[in-house]
Structure 1
Amino acid sequence: MTAAERSPAPDIARGFMLLLIALAHAPMYVTTSDPGPVTHPEGGDALDRVVTFLSLDLVDNRAYPMFAALFGYGMATLVMRQRAAGATGPLAAGLLRRRGVFLILFGLVHFLLIFPADILAPYGLAALAFGWLLTRGDRALHRGVVISAAVAAVLVPLLSVAMELEAGGERTRGTLWAHDYGQAVVDRLSEAPLAAVHILLGWPILTAVLVGAVAARRRYLDDPAAHRALLRRTVLLGGSVSVLGGVPLALVGAGAWGIGELATGAVTALHIVTGFGGGLAYAAAFGLLVARSGSGDTSPVTRALAAVGRRSLTSYLLQSALLALLLARVAFGLGDEIHATGAAVVAVGVWLTVVAVAVALEHAGLRGPLDALMRRLVYGRAARARPVETVPEQAERHRSAQGGGS
């Protein structure tokens, strides 16, 4: 299978990842109690506390590194496809820069108009500043992984503790709780310039992007059957580290452990760092799913997840807009009426709505409109030359490339 061939595993993982992001973002809108760690609402009944514990242990700070690794995987795949088509390194790097610029612009609009915890702009900034590494050899890329991991190991604890001490135990959700939408947009204008930089420094985003790029070069998700042993180790080791590392902050968030600000900052740093392993474990798990089935096209569920993942930009922004519309005070304001359990129910409902839209587009043979726009902006007129493949068509091409077609 050439570099241009495409496995469904990354798309299936992206589709699932958006559920995790919905579950992480929805509690931020809850106004029926003060915000606790990672802006989860404090208190609530027994079910609310269980939901908060599970979210902090399994979801929060686990979806972002998963998304970042898949983003790096996609960027490295783009470079390999361009190289396979005869493009030079500078041309491929230029495409990465263009993608980075437009991701920043998409993210800025998202940040200002919808949700002030955008993840598109940080990834765009990473592509713009460090995408050149993806056009270099393996040695340079591996060195980038080591250096970025070392920097994150220092910065994440420092920033986590500093932010907790500065807050003094008083957390706010800022413009998410605003009563005046116009004023919220104005306030976000002053926050936007540093928001993406803050996420890049406060989370191991760059390391996840570069690790994803290394995985793409070795085709861990393009040919997962050949890498079952490594993927299993990633699931077991990364998942165990993530779950164990998430327990302390989950106990704090669920109200089962009361600690001071310094200790809260320390367990928050532990939560973020170990979440890196969780993000990789989730991605590896979907690689194993595809390796087991041979194509990933085993059920309506995996086909639906792949449909969402193939339209991840459209799905992410639609999901974010629906959450804001339902939960924000400046819209329908359900966040004023519910707690952690209600937020989780809304998150799942919104994600299922996005899945239904993506499946409808898949059946119609259409790209997500924002994904199509991004492709047109990055590639120009050539973006319209190739039709959309359905997941079954991808699977058949994948089997044929390995000699299994009829």
Structure 2
Amino acid sequence: MPLLDVLRGVAILGTLMSNVWIFAGPGAEWGLLGGNAGSSAGADPSSLAGVAETVFRSLANGKFLSMLTILFGVGLAIQFRSAAQRGNPWPGRYKWRALFLFAEGTVHFVLVFAWDVLMGYAVVAMLVAWLLTRSARAQRVTWIAMGALHLMVMSLITAALLLAPGGGTNGGADADAVALYAEGGYVEQIAFRLSHAAVLRMEPVLSFALLVFLFLLGVRLFRAGAFQGDAAGRRIRRRLAGWGLGIGLPLNALAVLGGSDFFFLDRYAAAPVLAIGYLGLIGTAMDRVRHPGPLTSALTSVGRTALSCYVLQNVLAMLACYGIGLGLASRWADSGPWWVMGLWAAICLALVVGASLWLRRFEHGPLESVQKRLLRR
């Protein structure tokens, strides 16, 4: 299914659209907890730079992460179907795949990026893999219950922020954390992540119900034929685009206008709806492509090496922004958002070129090859 590779490539590059602001902000990974989600220093929100940053962030925040989560569910459904067709036990070898993903995510969290998603995906994948052996009714009830539970939790958190004295805002990034990522050593940063792991690993805990919901949504979409090249698949994709964009765009606009107190509803409630619209929109656009061009080939290459590209993009962003590398985050802290958007484009270009060249000689990406070799054992 060529469409799945393209979607996966878009999701990987789109996830960096959100993460690059974490690397570039004061206090980096820890700064996000202290208000680093706001506009860049030196950028007037009403100026062209401020508007560009708002649009850039709003189009990405949580949307591509949700898309990536849905696609993980699709991949799980494909592997389940493959095992059933071959008469293999389930989850069978898949549990080792999930264990590898958890181990890789742990290494990624410790050495590179505190807001890693792979650890959470691995845990949810094992639960959903087990759910796929249950009845269709059990899967449907779990899907609805997880969606309702997640909306309730996000609503309660938002209400608490609105009712808190002075709102949900705080004083900004911690000065020690700012100095650590601007001037501290690599070993010090690793020690900081480990000592604050309980807080830095809170996102997959808070969004656990959403992850399960989106995984199961991916399973349902795959089984409905949403990624097939026939007329039924094209019809489903048009509906996803219409409903997802029609509902998601207004919801996200309202959440953005609501300010920082609506951060959780924006990233974890409105964003998944728009992500569904993105899936349908990209799928509908692909349906009109008669002869794949350079853009399609580039996205396909990134999609086929998604795990490697996800890790590499964070490594490149870390080396560009932190003091252990080029230190651009502190050097250009007051220069507005343009350099951050330029950094995103440069890393995307590096990933596209690197993935394309790699696949000319090898069938799978580097981390994908390691995973396959380990699973054979």
Q: TM-score range by the shorter chain?
A: 0.7 to 0.9
1:62 and 1:276 in contact (8 A); partners too: yes
CA contact (8 A) 2:157 2:264 kept: no
- Tell me the equivalent position of 2:278: 282
Contact 1:112–1:189 (Cα < 8 Å) also in 2: yes
1:296-346, CA deviations, whole angstroms, 9 ceiling, x for partnerless residues? Answer: x52121111111101100011111100111112332111121432211110
CA distance in 1, matches of 2:113, 2:128: 25
Unmatched tracts of structure 2, length 5 or more: none
What does 1:25-174 correspond to in 2, within 5 Å? Answer: 25-31=19-25, 36=35, 38=37, 40-41=39-40, 44-45=43-44, 46-87=47-88, 91-160=89-158, 162=160, 165=164, 168-172=169-173
For the residue of structure 2 that corresponds to 1:335, the secondary structure is helix
Residue 184, structure 1, aligned to residue 182, structure 2: no
**In 2, Cα distance between equivalents of 1:333 and 1:150:** 43
Alpha-carbon displacement from aligned partner over 1:34-72 (angstroms, at most 9, x marks no partner): 875735535514233122211332110111110100000
Change (3 A) 1:12 1:241: same
> Partner residue of 2:320?
326
User: Which amino acid counterpart does residue 306 of structure 2 have in structure 1?
Assistant: S
The Cα shift of 1:239 comes to 1.7
Structure 1 residues 313 and 271: alpha-carbon distance in aligned structure 2, compared to 1, 3 A threshold: closer
> Are 1:56 and 1:249, in contact at CA under 8 Å, matched by a contact in 2?
no
The residue aligned with 2:350 is 353
Cα distance change, pair 47–224 in 1 and its aligned pair in 2 (3 A): farther
SS at match of 1:109: helix
Say whether residues 1:217 and 2:218 are aligned partners: no
- Per the TM alignment, residue 190 of structure 1 is displaced from its structure 2 partner at its CA by 3.1
Aligned-pair CA distance for 1:163: 6.8
Find out whether 1:369 has 2:366 as its counterpart: yes
- Residue 269 (structure 1) aligned with residue 265 (structure 2): yes
Tell me whether 364-373 or 174-183 shows the greater mean CA deviation: 174-183
For residues 192-235 of structure 1, the C-alpha deviation after alignment (integer angstroms, 9 at most, x for no partner) is 35644532423722211110011122231133642222211211
In 1, are the aligned partners of 2:225 and 2:232 still within 8 Å (CA)?
A: no
CA drift of 1:73 comes to 0.4
Pick the aligned partner of 1:314 from 297, 301, 308: 308
Alpha-carbon separation, structure 2, partners of 1:97 and 1:22: 28
Secondary structure of the residue aligned to 1:136 is: coil
Residue 169 of structure 1 aligns to a residue whose secondary structure is: coil
Report the CA distance between 1:271 and its aligned residue: 4.5
DSSP 3-state at the match of 1:10:
helix
Ranges in structure 1 where 5+ consecutive residues have no aligned partner: 1-6, 253-258, 382-406
Residue correspondence of structure 1 range 238-253 to structure 2 within 5 A: 238-251=244-257
Matches of 2:341 and 2:48 in 1, distance apart? Answer: 11
Q: Does 1:305 align with 2:306?
A: no
CA separation of 1:271/1:196 partners in 2, compared to 1, >3 Å: closer, same or farther? closer
Paired letter, 2:75? G
Q: CA deviation at 1:110?
A: 0.9
The partner residue of 1:201 within 197, 206, 211 is: 206
Equivalent residue letter for 1:98: W
Match of residue 236 from structure 1: 242
Aligned-partner Cα distance in 1 for 2:160–2:173: 16
- The whole-number CA distance in structure 2 between the counterparts of 1:65 and 1:25 is 14
Give the partner amino acid of 2:191: V
- Separation in structure 1 between the aligned mates of residue 272 and residue 329 of structure 2, nearest angstrom: 29
Counterpart CA distance in 1 for 2:159 and 2:348 is 33
Residue 286 of structure 1: how far off its partner (Å): 2.8
Query: What's 1:12 paired with?
Result: 6
Residues 307 and 367, structure 2, Cα contact 8 Å, conserved in 1? yes
Q: Distance in 1 between matches of 2:302 and 2:357?
A: 10
Count of residues in Structure 1 that have an aligned counterpart in Structure 2: 359
- The two structures, once aligned, show a CA RMSD in angstroms of 2.7
* Aligned residues of 1:24 and 1:59 also touching (Cα < 8 A): yes
Runs of 4+ in 1 over 4 A off after TM superposition: 31-37, 160-168, 173-177, 193-197
What is the alpha-carbon distance in structure 1 between the residues aligned to residue 344 and residue 42 of structure 2? 19
